[in-house]
């Protein structure tokens, strides 16, 4: 008697292949986990190495502690600056000391 067992799609194809004469068998292997479930890919802001956003990289978005510390050092030494328009300090002091603006 035939027992009904749940077969994987690959096993089903291999089981059905002899039924079709004149056909060739192709075994295609698929990745175990689809790339989308691994997490997004991104480049390290310092060195440009491509990494996956996952728990494997605790320093993310950097690839390593070294890259993270180099970037932090650049901010600490003010190598990076956010562009802004210069502020007129006299006008700022007058606005802060103006009593009429508080009422």
Indicate which CATH number applies to the domain containing 59: 3.30.50.10
Q: In which domain, by residue range, is 45 found? A: 38-82
Cα 28 from chain centre: 28
Domain-embedded: residue 53: yes
Domain-embedded: residue 7: no
Q: What is the CA radius of gyration of the chain?
A: 31
Domain-embedded: residue 95: no
How is the chain split among helix, strand and coil, in percent rounded to 5? 40, 5, 55
pLDDT tens for 16-64 read: 555 555 555 555 555 555 454 577 899 999 999 998 888 877 888 899 9
Domain-embedded: residue 45: yes
State the total domains in the chain. Answer: 1
Torsion of CA 60, 64, 68, 69, to 10 degrees: 160
Domain-embedded: residue 75: yes
pLDDT tens for 75-103 read: 899 888 888 888 788 887 888 887 555 55
């Amino acid at each position: 008697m035939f027992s009904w067992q749940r077969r994987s799609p690959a096993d089903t194809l291999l089981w059905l292949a002899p039924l079709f004469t004149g056909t060739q068998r192709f075994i295609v292997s698929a990745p175990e986990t689809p790339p989308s479930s691994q997490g997004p890919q991104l480049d390290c802001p310092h060195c440009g190495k491509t990494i996956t956003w996952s728990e494997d990289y605790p320093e993310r978005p950097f690839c390593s502690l070294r890259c993270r510390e180099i970037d932090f050092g650049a901010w600490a030494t003010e190598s990076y600056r956010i562009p802004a328009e210069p502020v007129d300090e006299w006008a700022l002091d007058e606005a802060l000391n103006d009593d009429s603006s508080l009422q």
